[in-house]
Amino acid sequence: MAETIRVLISEKEIEARIEKLGEEITKAYQGKELHLICVLKGGAFFMCELAKHIKVPVSLDFMCLSSYGSGTVSSGVVRIAKDLDDAIEGKDVLVVEDIIDSGRTLHYLLDVLEKRHPASLNLCSLLDKPDRREVEVNIDYLGFAIPDEFVVGYGLDYAQKYRNLPYIGVVEGLE
């Protein structure tokens, strides 16, 4: 590891918060089936752990959106690199994201999904950087609000590195 990484949120804190989110989601969707849509790649770690704590039937699907490339700042252009495998019409859908930064990517995605006529559409994010928000998005279930620092770990990467860290860390020394 060439970069220095400072722990921002520990593995134990993440585990405890995901368990609580699972309880909240279970209560909200009691008696229903829930379709989770993971935003790849970073959201995969979070969604897998979250799904273990949701006690209603769940199905899973994946989308891949891009607005970053290999840099640390969003390009502002969102593109769908991988679309859903299954239709969501009439389903209770929960989008699972790793982090919400400017809000542009999620605003775009939620608009695209809403046009596919789900029964309900909500958003769960492990992390939120409210100081970076350019486009408002409603986060129904949130793990942690964090300061405007570039973070890695638990699915989040820097140039495809550090996703496998079991905690959320800040990469020191990036411009």
SS (H, E, C) the chain: CCCEEEEEECHHHHHHHHHHHHHHHHHHCCCCCEEEEEEECCHHHHHHHHHHCCCCCEEEEEEEEECCCCCCCCCCCCEEEECCCCCCCCCEEEEEEEEECCCHHHHHHHHHHHCCCCCEEEEEEEEECHHHCCCCCCCCEEEEECCCCCEEECCECECCECCCCCCEEEEECCC
Q: Show which residues are catalytic.
A: 101
Closest to 141 in 3D by CA, of 154, 120, 126: 126
